[in-house]
Amino acid sequence: MPAPDAIAFVRSALPPAPARVLEIGAGDGALAAVLRGAGYDVTAIDPRGEGDVLPVSLLDLEAEPFDAAVAMTSLHHVEPLTESLEQLAGLLRPGARLVVDEYDVAALDERAAAWWLNIAGEDQDPAEHVAHMRHHIFSVARIRTELAPWFDVSEPVPGAYLYRHKIGWDHRAEEEAKIAAGEIPATGSRFIAIRR
């Protein structure tokens, strides 16, 4: 289940139900289920989808236009990025919102990696972890640049993210405190993009 604050962010940014919503990279379908329970008409996709999540990539999706889309920590994995985001633009009505909650790998540094690796029990050098992550996933800056030809993209709002990846919500307050104290950077990023 997505973090409660992430669900609240998505719900507050969507148009009123029963809007047609596309969820990109829906994973196990937990967020889609929450949105359906709130009255939204949700199409959830993920290349490894099962059950109520269609096993299709964004690039290969064919559908009627959507009123909104949600991408919760998924755009950093989308390949090919440029072509897939152009496809997304074609799937959204003018004025539709793309609600993005992302991992900003460009903000990750050795301090944050060391904190996360320690809690996760991972035996890896923090510098190697940072290099590996930056090599394998897209940064928020790159995603925003690739969205710009079709969307008006808001400034990202930074926040905690690492607690959501394997180590659990019990570490959220600790991560937020470390961010506030300047001990580690905020590696989460939320923004909204409006289809022109």
- Residue 49 CB neighbours (<10 A): 18
Alpha-carbon distances of 181 from 12, 109, 185, rounded to whole Å: 28, 15, 10
Question: Contact at 8 Å (CB) between 110 and 126?
Answer: yes
DSSP 29: S
What distance in Å separates the CA atoms of residue 23 and residue 46, rounded to the nearest whole number? 9
- pTM for the structure as a whole: 0.95
Residue 1 has pLDDT above 80, yes or no: no
Cis omega before residue 149 (within 30°)?
no
* pLDDT one-digit tens code per residue, 64-102: 999 999 999 999 999 999 999 999 999 999 999 999 999
4-105+138-167+186-195 CATH: 3.40.50.150
Split at pLDDT 50, 70, 90, the class of 3 is confident
Instruction: Collapse the DSSP code of 23 into the 3-class scheme (helix H, G, I; strand E, B; otherwise coil) and give the result.
Output: strand
Instruction: Collapse the DSSP code of 182 into the 3-class scheme (helix H, G, I; strand E, B; otherwise coil) and give the result.
Output: coil
- Comparing CA positions, the residue from 48, 20, 43, 19 lying closest to residue 31 is 43
Each domain of the chain, given as residue ranges in start order, spans 4-105+138-167+186-195
What backbone phi and psi angles, to 5 degrees, belong to 157? Answer: -105, 115
Question: Contact at 8 Å (CB) between 101 and 9?
Answer: yes
* pLDDT one-digit tens code per residue, 131-180: 999 999 999 999 999 999 999 999 999 999 999 888 988 999 999 999 99
